[in-house]
Copies of this chain bind each other. A is one copy, B any other.
């Protein structure tokens, strides 16, 4: 029996929720889009395997990323090669430059989640579904939205993350008040960022808080 790791790496780019997709260059599913991943090595801890695959397949450094275990998939026929049980990880990344092709020469690129849903190899559609679901919930109950932002970010950046991941519009004023009013969510810096026009926005850093009480309420669908 083989044990593998698969990665659903999400980011917010171009006003869309995007996922890092590779094109498979080997059978099975040669030429298909798939989540990056690979087999675990003997004696390797799960988390370490996820970090290693992340680096190998995408060139991304896991250190600044949020990386958490998502679920484990073990259908006996999920891989035509035989029994492969896969531990899926979810990573949330800021809007990074398009990663280079990995060492095993697969083309890696950011792709809007909507445009690949239903087209992935193996049971990766199911994994991606769950990853998106988890990301949406995480925004409600935790401060993880900051994981989609860089080291510093404006209130507008952070609000954009919520708007894209949830697919809703949020009132900038109420949003700002809620975030600033939540102890430890963000820390204002002295710096500001000017854009093309308009009043420059304060830049914030992540605060120490991880859970949100009260939760960010997603307008009931």
Q: How far is the CB of A181 from chain B (nearest CB, A)?
A: 14
Interface of A is mostly: loop
The answer to whether residues A46 and B83 also contact, given A1-B3, A3-B3, A72-B72 and a CB cut-off of 8 A, is no
Q: How far is the CB of A166 from chain B (nearest CB, A)?
A: 14
Which residues 167-221 of A sit at the B interface, judged by CB distance below 8 A? 213-215, 217, 220
Which residues 1-20 of A sit at the B interface, judged by CB distance below 8 A? 1, 3
Q: How far is the CB of A179 from chain B (nearest CB, A)?
A: 18
Q: How far is the CB of A103 from chain B (nearest CB, A)?
A: 24
**Residue contact B83 to A42, C-beta cutoff 8 Å:** yes
A43 interfacial contact with B, CB 8 Å: yes
A45 interfacial contact with B, CB 8 Å: yes
Contacts of A72 in B (CB 8 A): 46, 69, 72, 87
**Residue contact A87 to B69, C-beta cutoff 8 Å:** no
User: Please, how many angstroms separate the alpha-carbon atoms of A213 and B215 in the complex?
Assistant: 12
**Residue contact B43 to A83, C-beta cutoff 8 Å:** yes
User: Please, how many angstroms separate the alpha-carbon atoms of A1 and B43 in the complex?
Assistant: 9
User: Please, how many angstroms separate the alpha-carbon atoms of A217 and B215 in the complex?
Assistant: 10
A28 interfacial contact with B, CB 8 Å: no
- Quick one: CB contact mask for A73-106 with B, threshold 8 Å, 1 for yes? 1111000000101010000000000000000000
Contacts of A87 in B (CB 8 A): 72, 74
A27 interfacial contact with B, CB 8 Å: no
10 intermolecular pairs with C-beta atoms under 8 Å apart: A1-B3, A3-B74, A44-B76, A45-B74, A46-B75, A69-B72, A74-B87, A213-B220, A214-B217, A215-B215
Which of A's residues lie within 8 Å of B, judged by CB? 1, 3, 42-46, 69, 71-76, 83, 85, 87, 213-215, 217, 220
The 3 closest A-B pairs by CB, nearest first: A46-B74, A72-B72, A43-B76
Given A45-B76, A213-B220, A214-B220, 19 more pairs with CB closer than 8 A: A1-B3, A3-B3, A3-B74, A3-B85, A42-B83, A43-B76, A44-B76, A45-B75, A46-B72, A46-B74, A46-B75, A46-B85, A69-B71, A69-B72, A72-B87, A74-B87, A85-B85, A214-B217, A215-B215
